[in-house]
Amino acid sequence: MFLKVKLNWNVVIPAENLDIKGLMLQKAILIRLLDDFAAKRATRDYGYLLAVTTLDKIGEGKVREHSGDVLFPVHFTCLSFKVFRGEVVEGVVHKILKHGVFLRCGPIENLYLSNQKMTDYHYQHADSACFLNIKTGSRIEKDATLRCVIIGVKYMEAQKEFQAVVGLEGDHLGPI
């Protein structure tokens, strides 16, 4: 799900980047904000940070005593992506294993669909591995798009990424 989030961050501008002209200062603050934003990647509360949409306010700078750098409080709005338990999402299969498949959904690389959560499908190890539904003939194979429901979500702090377990148990779920 996409979220519109208002954030307040502190942006530090090195002393050598300061200029008398205010326009150069605003540019330096914006560039530094975007660099910090890209490095952050994701947060537990807001999900994956995708884009800064508006720069609402740049506060008054405060000089740091030891370094001479200037710290500016910045208020901005951004777009983020986060999945929630019970949400229906679409993902693309990128890895097939005997015990399940891994899907990608937006910036999330690791949605795991266990073979136990796709009860009508059976693993087939032919020329290319896939899961086959014998009744309907539908296949879950590499690069297939699946509609699935989020069962659980976990945030990995060290990698700054989310992992989720998904299932096909419900109406209108499965290969598209």
pLDDT score, position 21? 57
d(CA 164, CA 105): 10
Q: Mark whether 77 and 126 lie in a shared domain.
A: no
**Mean pLDDT over each residue of the chain, to the nearest integer:** 91
Using left for φ > 0, alpha for ψ between -120 and 50, and beta otherwise, residue 119 falls in alpha
Domain end residue (candidates: 81, 105, 129): 81
Q: Mark whether 93 and 163 lie in a shared domain.
A: yes
Give the C-alpha distances (Å, rounded to integers) separating 12 from 39, 56, 57, 172: 14, 17, 15, 49
Domain extent, residue 20, equals 2-81
For residue 17, how many C-alpha atoms fall within 13 Å in the half-sphere facing its CB?
18
Q: Mark whether 147 and 72 lie in a shared domain.
A: no
Which residues of the chain fall below pLDDT 70? 17-23
Could you count the other beta carbons within 10 Å of the beta carbon of residue 11?
Answer: 23
